Amino acid sequence: MAGSSSVHVQLRELVTAGAQTQADALRAASSLPLRDVLEALDEDFLDEHGDAGSRFLRAWLGQLGPFEQMEVAGQVADLHLLSLVDIEHSYGIAARIILESLERVTAAMADKLTGLRVFTEGPDAEVAPELADRLEALAPVLRDVNRAVAAVQAEAIENLQNP
């Protein structure tokens, strides 16, 4: 890749070196913005190193927080339908990536909604308690969505062919 940074080159080298360097690759990726990781593992790289790239991307997603994971899950799933389509079970992998990220983000959103009460308390509070009440009332709805997504994910895991 012309003009790629030395960090991108290093990450690609660690990813292609295999399982023995995956921890190092994940550490290197953790110091990069999400976009840079995806740019380092571009379509040309993934066309040539599909299996290693897919394994790394799935491990990387698992290390991200739920909101970060959701931010890039669609892009990583799309890569499995495009550049990584030739790897075994690519469509199943793409589906699992989306379902896992949806499950994590819905749980995290429900938790965040119940955590807003603190902004209504204290002498400097500027948020009306009624607002926190309304947001907290949404948390059970999101927990229901989370349980439904988890059930679909469990069923999909049974039905999807995925290593």
Q: Which two tokens stand for residue 91?
A: 């469509």
Q: What is the pLDDT of residue 112?
A: 93
Does 71 fall in a domain?
Answer: no
Q: Model confidence at 19, in pLDDT bands (50, 70, 90)? A: confident
128-149 pLDDT tens trace = 999 999 999 999 999 999 999 9
Nearest one of 60, 159, 62, 59 to 103, comparing CA atoms: 62
Q: Are residues 101 and 163 in the same domain?
A: yes
Does 102 fall in a domain?
Answer: yes
Q: Region 20-32: what's the mean pLDDT?
A: 94
Q: Are residues 109 and 159 in the same domain?
A: yes
Structurally, the chain folds into a number of domains equal to 2
63-99 pLDDT tens trace = 999 999 999 999 999 999 999 999 999 999 999 999 9
- Angstrom distance (rounded) from CA 13 to CA 157: 31
Biggest alpha carbon–alpha carbon distance for the chain: 60
Q: Look up tokens 């699992």; give the residue.
A: 96
Q: Are residues 102 and 155 in the same domain?
A: yes
The pTM assigned to this predicted structure is: 0.87
Q: 143 near 108, Cβ under 8 Å?
A: no
Q: Look up tokens 């960090």; give the residue.
A: 7
Q: 59 near 30, Cβ under 8 Å?
A: no
Does 54 fall in a domain?
Answer: yes
Does 72 fall in a domain?
Answer: no
Does 157 fall in a domain?
Answer: yes
Parent domain of 18 = 1-63
- Angstrom distance (rounded) from CA 34 to CA 45: 17
Q: Model confidence at 1, in pLDDT bands (50, 70, 90)? A: very low
Q: Are residues 93 and 43 in the same domain?
A: no
Q: Are residues 94 and 147 in the same domain?
A: yes
Average pLDDT across the chain, whole number:
91
Residue 136, CA distances (Å) to 78, 132, 143, 150 in order = 34, 6, 11, 21
Residue 30, CA distances (Å) to 12, 23, 27, 55 in order = 14, 11, 5, 16
